[in-house]
Amino acid sequence: MPSVKYQRGEMVMGRWPGSSLYYEVKVLRYDASSQLYTVIYKDGTELELKEQDIKNAAGFQTRSRSRSRSRSPGRRRSRSRSPARTTRRSSSRTAAAVATAAITESAPTSRRDAKLKDTPEVRLSPLVSATAAFTVSSESKVEAESEKNQGRYNLRRRKDDGDAKALEIKPEKLEEKDAKLAAASAASLSSPLDFGGKMDFFFLLQCKQGQCWLADVSLFNLEDPSLANFPPLLPPFEAFWDAQALGFVILWVLFQVLLYILPVGKLSEGMPLRSGERLKYRTNGFFAIAVSAVAVVAAVHQGVDLTYIHSHFLQLATASLLISVLLSIYLYVRSRYAAPEQLALGGNSGNVVYDFFKGHELNPRIKDFDLKFFCEMRPGLIGWCLINFAMALAEMKEQSLNAPSYSMILVNLFQLLYVLDGLWNEEAILTTMDLMHDGFGFMLAFGDLVWVPFTYTLQAYYLVSHPNLLSLPALAAIVTLKLVGFYIFRKSNSEKNAFRRNPSDPKLSHLKTIPTATGKSLLVSGWWGVVRHPNYLGDLMMALAWSLPCGFSHLLPWHYMIYFIILLVHRDSRDMSECRRKYGSAWDEYCRTVRYRIIPRVY
């Protein structure tokens, strides 16, 4: 970093965002495009700071020494603490583990420099409002909030309630830990690419899956799918391309655009961005699917043959792929001109292929039209249900049935429930990783527009030509699995969403939480106390219930299950590192308390 004020590795004083508190931090890197310094606190929490929020450590210490003889409200209080308060104090100590070298400009303290390392000067108790993450304004406010949250912010482990000390970070351990953390962060600097730099693997996986998908889809369309009649590795050009199919896909997307921009439904607020701004989203997805369903039924009634979707599956997928590529090129180009505060943290590696794949702009918008939100929640997701419905009609046609098979009905209903639920709770998507942290690039554009509609429908596609009879007990067991999975998925997602939107929601007051240095807290009881990703657990159970109706004779209907396990395990580890970076020791504490990631006692 030759031309920047603070150098990598330099120890400086970083202002805690929104407050007048300064902490000793180490500079990790400087991002020229966003003009932000990434700094690491003593407990491993990383934050991005502007240059004006960083001060030279030397000058700062002189100033704090001169103030050190003045009155120290914090210290006075600590002497007269009752035992109950001591427990709370130890909680806030852990919460404020970052404050290993805190100095307030406005509230002078009496700490000596020698003590700065292990004694938090200021209690960074978490604040309750969703927007309060960075609004520590005065010690008195912090104190008041702390009183208010006393019952909820419990840092003690649930099982050994009496052992509050176990959670305090020992100063000497902290030093050792710091070194490891700094090293880990430095390592992440040298390989800043997501997917652990294994993007080749991800590409290969996607290509491999695409190849299998092609082989499967071609195989199923054969009259005689025997080994002697194996389809060519690549179907002929016409099998991929059909201008009419492209026309239909464009019409479908435009229809969804129209429904999205209609001034119908709620305007929901997204999570606060780095700039503090909160974007508004039109969450009328349920309305969109209802209108789409009416339109589709009316079209079928008018004689439109939806089995076209089955017979032109490949061409429709190619058309969607083309649209997703064009969209990604547009996204990549516009991200080059986007203002720094509009960019996601990833996607700026300098490697064109990686950045194109990962995406750099966080919330690309054309006026109020949010491209990422729209693509994730509308054409592909609603298209998934349309395709499933078309497969049910194709099955009836191909198998000469008066009604779809039980297996087909189950697959259709299960997946419809999943999509309807996603759209009904559309607001909850605003607190997911994709919306909050990830840039919008080829991976998501392709995922939303091609992957979801053309691979999530493979169970229904398979059943068209592979009837699978289900016994009543099997049917009952599958339905039970789906409902239990759905319950876990919905409850856990709603719990987290409600908590992120309003941490002081009275409905959540029974839940234990861990405060973090950022002001946000982590749920440590309820669903998020069972495993670290209860929503993934429910989702996986549902995925199993989607594949079971297709039986075990072919791998294709299990494609989703296999892909989903890989996706969620990878997402979980990506989220783990991201949360570790954000929450530092509080995250470690959460992981110690909630031992398993997705499946209790297994993983």
Is residue 577 near ligand NDP by the rule CB under 6 A?
A: no
Please tell me whether residue 273 binds ligand NDP under the rule CB under 6 A. Answer: no
Distance of closest approach, residue 331 Cβ to ligand NDP, in angstroms: 20
Name the segment binding ligand LPDX5YLU (CB under 6 A); options: 92-100, 440-448, 503-511, 591-599: 440-448
Q: Which of 281, 373, 442, 451 binds ligand LPDX5YLU (CB under 6 A)?
A: 451
CA atoms within 13 A on the CB side of 336: 9
Residue 439 as a binder of ligand LPDX5YLU (CB under 6 A): the answer is no
Q: Please identify, using beta-carbon distances, which residue of 34 and 256 lies nearer to ligand LPDX5YLU.
A: 256
Is residue 443 near ligand NDP by the rule CB under 6 A? no
Half-sphere exposure in the Cβ direction for 92 (13 Å, CA): 25
Shortest distance (Å) from residue 522 CB to ligand LPDX5YLU: 20
| Of positions 155, 214, 344, 381, contacts ligand LPDX5YLU by CB under 6 A | 381
**What does the per-residue mask of binding to ligand NDP show for 388-427, with x meaning CB under 6 A?**
----------------------------------------
Pick the piece of the chain touching ligand NDP (CB under 6 A) from 48-56, 70-78, 362-370, 430-438.
430-438
Q: Calculate the CA dihedral of residues 596, 600, 601, 603 and round it to 10 degrees.
A: -50
Q: Which does 451 bind (CB under 5 to 8 A by kind): ligand NDP, ligand LPDX5YLU, none?
A: ligand LPDX5YLU
Q: Which helix (H) or strand (E) holds 408?
A: helix 406-424
Candidate residues 117, 141, 198, 500; the one interacting with ligand NDP per rule CB under 6 A: 500
Closest to 51 (Cα-Cα) out of 61, 65, 37, 64 = 37
Question: Residue 271 class from Cβ within 10 Å (0-12 exposed, 13-18 middle, 19+ buried)?
Answer: middle
Residue 359, Ramachandran bin (φ over 0: left; ψ between -120 and 50: alpha; else beta): left
Examine residue 535 and tell whether it contacts ligand NDP (CB under 6 A): yes
Interacting stretch for ligand NDP, rule CB under 6 A, among 200-208, 359-367, 431-439, 461-469?
Answer: 431-439
Among 46, 194, 448, 495, binds ligand LPDX5YLU (CB under 6 A): 448
Contact 173, 115 (CB under 8 A): no
Q: Which stretch binds ligand NDP (CB under 6 A): 41-49, 286-294, 405-413, 521-529?
A: 521-529
494 lies in the binding site for ligand LPDX5YLU (CB under 6 A) = no
State the binding partner of 445 from ligand NDP, ligand LPDX5YLU, none, CB within 5 to 8 A by kind: none
**Partners of 14 in the beta sheet?**
23, 54
The torsion defined by the Cα of 92, 93, 99 and 105, in degrees rounded to 10, comes to: 60
| Residue nearer to ligand NDP on the CB measure, 96 or 107 | 96
Instruction: Return the H-helix or E-strand segment holding 407.
Output: helix 406-424
Which of 20, 432, 494, 504 is the binder for ligand LPDX5YLU (CB under 6 A)?
A: 432
Residue pair 282/260 in contact (Cβ under 8 Å)? The answer is yes
Give me the phi and psi of 549, to 5 degrees please. -60, -15
List of residues 6+ apart from 547 with CB closer than 8 A = 459, 557, 558, 560, 561
Taking CB under 6 A as the rule, does residue 433 contact ligand NDP? Answer: yes
Task: Look at residue 390 and give its three-state secondary structure.
Answer: helix
Q: How far is the CB of 563 from ligand NDP (least distance, A)?
A: 9
> DSSP string covering 422-486, please?
HHHTGGGGGGSHHHHT---SHHHHHIIIIIHHHHTTHHHHHHHHS-----HHHHHHHHHHHHHHH
CB within 8 Å of 400: residues ≥ 6 apart = none
496 binds, among ligand NDP, ligand LPDX5YLU, none (CB under 5 to 8 A by kind): ligand NDP
Binding map of ligand NDP across residues 457-496, x = CB under 6 A, - = no contact: --------------------------------x---x--x
Q: Which is nearer to ligand NDP, 357 or 590 (CB)?
A: 590
Q: Is 520 in the site for ligand NDP (CB under 6 A)?
A: yes
In this structure, the number of other CB atoms found within 10 A of the CB of residue 392 comes to: 23
Q: Which of 323, 340, 326, 418 is nearest to 377 (CA)?
A: 418
Tokens 């430095």, located at residue: 186
Which of 30, 220, 440, 446: binder of ligand LPDX5YLU (CB under 6 A)? 446
152: contact with ligand NDP by CB under 6 A: no
Q: What is the 3-state secondary structure (H, E, C) of 60-104?
A: HHHHHHHHCCCCCHHHHHHHCCCHHHHHHHHHHHHHCHHHHHCEE
Of the CA atoms within 13 Å of residue 411, those in its CB half-sphere come to: 35
Q: Alpha-carbon Rg of the chain, whole angstroms?
A: 27
Comparison of 105 and 575: residue with beta carbon closer to ligand NDP: 575
CA–chain centroid gap for 354, Å, is: 19
Shortest CB 544 distance to ligand NDP, Å: 13
Question: Is 577 one of the binding residues for ligand LPDX5YLU (CB under 6 A)?
Answer: no
Q: Which of 227, 283, 241 is nearest to 431 (CA)?
A: 283
Q: Least Å distance between CB 468 and ligand NDP?
A: 23
Output 15 or 533, the one with its CB closest to ligand NDP.
533
Give residues 401-420 in contact with ligand LPDX5YLU (rule: CB under 6 A). Answer: 418
Q: Do residues 319 and 245 make contact, with C-beta atoms less than 8 angstroms apart? A: yes
- The answer to whether 575 contacts ligand NDP (rule: CB under 6 A) is yes
Is residue 24 within the footprint of ligand LPDX5YLU (CB under 6 A)?
A: no
Position 443 contacts ligand LPDX5YLU (CB under 6 A): yes
Confirm if 37 and 29 have CB atoms less than 8 A apart.
Answer: yes
Is 522 a binding residue for ligand NDP by CB under 6 A? The answer is yes
Q: Does 434 contact ligand LPDX5YLU by CB under 6 A?
A: yes
Q: Which is nearer to ligand NDP, 13 or 430 (CB)?
A: 430
Q: Which residues are near ligand NDP by CB under 6 A?
A: 432-434, 489, 493, 496, 499-500, 520, 522-523, 528, 533, 535-536, 539, 567, 571, 575, 578-579, 590
* Interacting residue ranges for ligand LPDX5YLU, rule: CB under 6 A: 206, 376, 381, 418, 421-422, 429, 432, 434, 443, 446-448, 451-452
